[in-house]
Structure 1
Amino acid sequence: MTALGSTFARRWRPLFTNRPFMVLWSARTLSWFGNAMAPMALGFAVLDAIGGVASLSAVIVARSVPNLLLVLFGGALADRSIRRRVMMWSAFVSAVSQFVCAWVFLSGHATLPLLLALSVVNGSSAALAGPASDALLRLVVPDQQLRDAGAFARFGMDMALLTGTGIGGVLIATFGPATTLMIDAGTFLFAGIMYACLPEPPTTTDSSSGMWRSLREGLTHVLASRWIAGCVLVTWVYMSCFACGIQVLALIVADDTFGRAGLGLANAFQIAGSITGIMVFTLMKDRVRLSTAVAAMGCSLAAPLGVLAFGAANQPPTAGLLMPMSMAMLVAGVIGQVAASVQSVTLQRKVPSDRIGRVGSYSALASLGGIAAGEILAAPLAAGLGVAGGLALLAGLAIAVSVAVALLPSVRIIDSAAD
């Protein structure tokens, strides 16, 4: 373990001495920590103050819709503006919206229309910040450190999501959801201050051109580079299958097999696998090709989907699925994280810096849109094919699309250039 720790320290030590990167990493990690606390705190606050599943769902949708609709504009804005300012003002807007949200709950003035408006503001600021955050990484580290910087940034994000969820639960139980939202506002405030301290060279994009022209240029670049379009497609299919199979249909299978606590344990294995995947990616250097990563991404997700399909197909339901499901989720977490990291670093290296925000926004749109599509399709898919049939179809789709994209000539050219 000591040798392994020294290996990571040696790989990441140059990043620790890069002040702009560490400021960016700290601000991003703090923002992700706040994002992890917010949904649970807001959900319990809505249930306490207003009540009803319909109200809770409306508030969640009010944040998700602008996040989905505005992410492309966020990418264009990131390429047209100084990215540090985009991140700074986004964090400040999120801090103000969360502070006002906490205040209306604490003061007893919470109403559904007001909460919907605050959720729209918060979702909009998040949509504008995401692409700028990824694009900013390119400007604060040299090319030879991009790979390790991307891995360390993902490590911070995963640890923030993991600890933020746990600490958020403790804060809600101890101080209540409204006070937790106030603390959450503080995380965004401090993140905004960190972004304000971050130096950044001005963008090279011509900001005099219209926003729609910038969006068209980004789409043209994605479609012209078929390997990028393929990666975007794989991301959409992966997130659709994950949302439909793991987040929705798995709940039905769990109730008939290993139980809800067992599903929670399996999800914990997936998170552990994701964190482990970052370590594996760091140690492997540039040994994983893009085609291998793309193919492995879909195939790894097919493992837990296949276990769930097997459990649902047997009547009475098969017992003893918890261990294979947990191991499948662990493997999916490791391979999925390595594959996503390879794709992310390849985009950072190959896409021009003045277009990285817009190209990254299409990947973000694929991820967000895939989750929404998977959640919407779960019910009709289960009704038409049954739970087992639907899960089997999702597993086959994940494999077929990822392998097909991995075999694209443009992806193989990227592999050849990396050799």
Structure 2
Amino acid sequence: MLLNPAFRAFYLGRLVSLAGSAMTPVALAFAMLDASGRPGDLGIVLACQLVPHLALLLVGGVVADRLPRRLVLIVANLGAGLTQGAIAFVLIGGLYRLWLVAGLALVAGALEAFTSPALRGIVPSLVGSAELERANSLLSGTRAAVLIVGPTVAGLVVVAAGGGWAIAVDAVSFVAAAAFLSRLPRVAPAPAAAASSLLRDLGAGWRAFFAIPWVWPVALAYSVINLVNVGPWQVLGPTLTQQRSGEAVWGVVLSVRAAGLLAMSVVMYRFVPRHPLRFGRLTGALGACSLLALGLGLDPVWLATAAFVGGLGFAASGITWESAVQRHVGSERIGRVSSIDDLLSFAAIPLGQLLVGPAAAAWGGARVALVCGVVFAVAALAPLASRAVRTLPGARTDPTPEPVGA
């Protein structure tokens, strides 16, 4: 049964954490601007959060394989609650200092590096192999729903009480998540993993990553997709839409895209593809529709339609990928393999954000969006050249949860 007590506790923990975190970007932006009046301060704080996240991701993967993942998640959530609470206290109390908020952001980013590998590795211990798609669909749908509602709620809290109080709500959500996660069953770490050195574990993680023939092609494809999608969509999307149709249209497009994510998550809750990576790569190419529509200058209705289709593709691709990694990568190394996957994906994002501006200035925003859409589609489909990607099987018939040597 999917909603067994252990998974239910995990799901509730993720729900409250996601709900709080969805408020933070809006809340932090307005709180920082109110406190400092300098947009550059916000950029510094965001960078301080990203840098340690990237720098420590591989270490986070080792820790997720060495220590009980339940413990890692509880400590990381409690730490995030403390850092967010401290930032909220500084902003609410009128004690703003850039160095102080930036320092807290560094700690918050470091904690995030330990969270994502442990999250991916713990799910197979809570549900059976046959239920992984359903579990990931439920989590994906929850993220999409929170993305639709969270920023609006944050805006209301900011207007009513100020950005600092919205950040305080996020702090409370992390503590609540830790309380739910404390109800998960205790699983002892694998003795062999605990006995080796950090550098040896890191090396073993890289060898495992490249030794699994279907992992590295898809992970590299995601890296290219993030390079050509996140920055162009975030930068060129609002710019081109504002020029053609006005500011309000962009908000509608983002909401419709999130609705596409939610819709496919509902579908994937019932549908388990026989070959998940094959299905995920084919549907994942639909994610390029948003950029292609933007580059072609389609009218708002068609742009929103393309965004919805793109959301469908992103959800199917993400759910099948998560389930494949959780099902077929061994528990003793899933944290390290996941951290390498995350590192390649996340490191490409700031590079794309930096390049999109000069590229648009040189060749025009619409042309850059169109080229990025084409590259996106090619990158999404390229892993299908690997037979291992095309033929990787889906769910096994064993319905029992797989033990995790955390």
| TM over 0.5, shorter chain | yes
Conserved 8 A contact 1:242-1:301 = no
When structure 1 is superposed on structure 2, of 167-176 and 89-98 the one drifting more is 167-176
Equivalent residue, structure 2, for 1:349: 327
Tell me the distance in 2 between the aligned counterparts of 1:107 and 1:323: 45
- Structure 2 CA distance for partners of 1:107 and 1:231, relative to 1, 3 Å: same
Matched AA of 2:351: A
Matched AA of 1:248: V
Quote the offset at 1:147 in angstroms: 2.0
TM-score (normalised: structure 2): 0.93
Equivalent residue, structure 2, for 1:179: 165
Equivalent residue, structure 2, for 1:296: 283
Matched AA of 2:390: R
Quote the offset at 1:164 in angstroms: 2.4
- Structure 2 CA distance for partners of 1:384 and 1:415, relative to 1, 3 Å: farther
User: Given the alignment, which residue of 262, 271, 275 partners 2:258?
Assistant: 271
Equivalent residue, structure 2, for 1:215: 202
Equivalent residue, structure 1, for 2:370: 392
When structure 1 is superposed on structure 2, of 92-101 and 63-72 the one drifting more is 63-72
Tell me the distance in 2 between the aligned counterparts of 1:241 and 1:295: 18
Equivalent residue, structure 1, for 2:389: 411
CA RMSD of aligned residues (A): 1.9
Residues 17-64 of structure 1 deviation map (CA, whole Å, 9 limit, x = unaligned): x11111111111211112111222122111111111111111111111
Conserved 8 A contact 2:226-2:352 = yes
Conserved 8 A contact 1:28-1:133 = no
For the residue of structure 1 that corresponds to 2:392, the secondary structure is helix
Quote the offset at 1:264 in angstroms: 1.3
Alignment of 1:35-54 (within 5 A): 35-54=21-40
TM-score (normalised: structure 1): 0.90
When structure 1 is superposed on structure 2, of 117-126 and 158-167 the one drifting more is 158-167
Tell me the distance in 2 between the aligned counterparts of 1:417 and 1:265: 37
Conserved 8 A contact 2:231-2:350 = no
Conserved 8 A contact 1:300-1:332 = yes
Residues 81-132 of structure 1 deviation map (CA, whole Å, 9 limit, x = unaligned): 1111110011111111111111112222110000100111111111211110
Quote the offset at 1:244 in angstroms: 2.7
Residues 349-391 of structure 1 deviation map (CA, whole Å, 9 limit, x = unaligned): 1100111111111222233223212211102322333223212
Quote the offset at 1:342 in angstroms: 1.0
Q: Which has the higher contact order (CA 8 A, sep 6+)?
A: 2
Tell me the distance in 1 between the aligned counterparts of 2:91 and 2:240: 37
Equivalent residue, structure 2, for 1:401: 379
For the residue of structure 1 that corresponds to 2:218, the secondary structure is helix
Quote the offset at 1:403 in angstroms: 2.0
Equivalent residue, structure 1, for 2:403: none
Tell me the distance in 1 between the aligned counterparts of 2:388 and 2:36: 53
When structure 1 is superposed on structure 2, of 326-335 and 368-377 the one drifting more is 368-377
Alignment of 1:328 with 2:315, yes or no, is: no
User: Given the alignment, which residue of 22, 31, 34 partners 2:17?
Assistant: 31
Tell me the distance in 1 between the aligned counterparts of 2:325 and 2:168: 37
Quote the offset at 1:232 in angstroms: 0.6
Equivalent residue, structure 2, for 1:128: 114
Equivalent residue, structure 1, for 2:218: 231
Tell me the distance in 1 between the aligned counterparts of 2:275 and 2:215: 17
Count of residue correspondences: 396
Alignment of 1:110 with 2:96, yes or no, is: yes
Residues 279-334 of structure 1 deviation map (CA, whole Å, 9 limit, x = unaligned): 1112222245412321331x3132221221122xxxxxxxx610110000000101
Quote the offset at 1:265 in angstroms: 0.8
Note the residue ranges of structure 1 that are not aligned, 5 or more in a row. 1-13, 312-319
- Structure 2 CA distance for partners of 1:137 and 1:114, relative to 1, 3 Å: same
- Structure 2 CA distance for partners of 1:238 and 1:303, relative to 1, 3 Å: same
Matched AA of 1:286: P
For the residue of structure 2 that corresponds to 1:354, the secondary structure is coil
Tell me the distance in 2 between the aligned counterparts of 1:40 and 1:210: 41
Alignment of 1:252-267 (within 5 A): 252-267=239-254
